Amino acid sequence: MAVVDAVKETLAKAPQGFIPVASPWVAFTLTADISSCSATQQIQQQTRVAGMNVTVTAWITESSPTARFAELVRRWKRDTALTSSIAKVSMHSAYQEIIGMGARALPLIFEELEQRGGDWFWALRAITGEDPARGSSDFDEAKRAWLDWWRDRAS
């Protein structure tokens, strides 16, 4: 097994929501901002690299909501780029995890909606239990209604 594969295999044991902490030898997997990280953990595994028994140690840390959200959005967009059905788009595991973040996801969703659009109305309704855009079939109108709703609550 190559070193890079051993590291990847070890990191694959990380619990959901954890990311590698920056270090020279795991830098290639570092995808998130770690400035707001907490709860650093170590994971280890014994393996063979170049014919030698070695212990691979990886340091991981709980991902910040912002980093986790960005990763989920990236996955969701990649996997549903060709999907027309809103039911299927909304049932994607990454989208469901975003809904599962609850109110913590709202500022991130509204920022995403305002800057890049996207099919967020299902998630917003699921999280808030409201639909200020109800009755509107036009995307821009629905987007405005939701952004106004959010600004009212944020002010």
| Closest distance to another protein from the beta carbon of 83 (Å) | 6
Listed in order, strand segments (DSSP E) in the chain are 18-20, 38-49, 52-62
Residue 62 or 112: the one with the smaller Cβ distance to another protein is: 112
Q: Which residues bind another protein (CB under 8 A)?
A: 77, 80-88, 117-119, 121-122, 125, 131-139, 141-143, 145-146
| Closest distance to another protein from the beta carbon of 99 (Å) | 14
Distance CA 95, CA 118 (A): 12
- Cβ 117 vs Cβ 143: under 8 Å: yes
Residue type for position 38: S
| Closest distance to another protein from the beta carbon of 109 (Å) | 14
| Closest distance to another protein from the beta carbon of 134 (Å) | 5
Residue 68 or 143: the one with the smaller Cβ distance to another protein is: 143
Residue 120 CB burial class (10 angstroms; 0-12, 13-18, ≥19): buried
Residue 42 or 85: the one with the smaller Cβ distance to another protein is: 85
Residue 131 CB burial class (10 angstroms; 0-12, 13-18, ≥19): middle
Residue 52 or 87: the one with the smaller Cβ distance to another protein is: 87
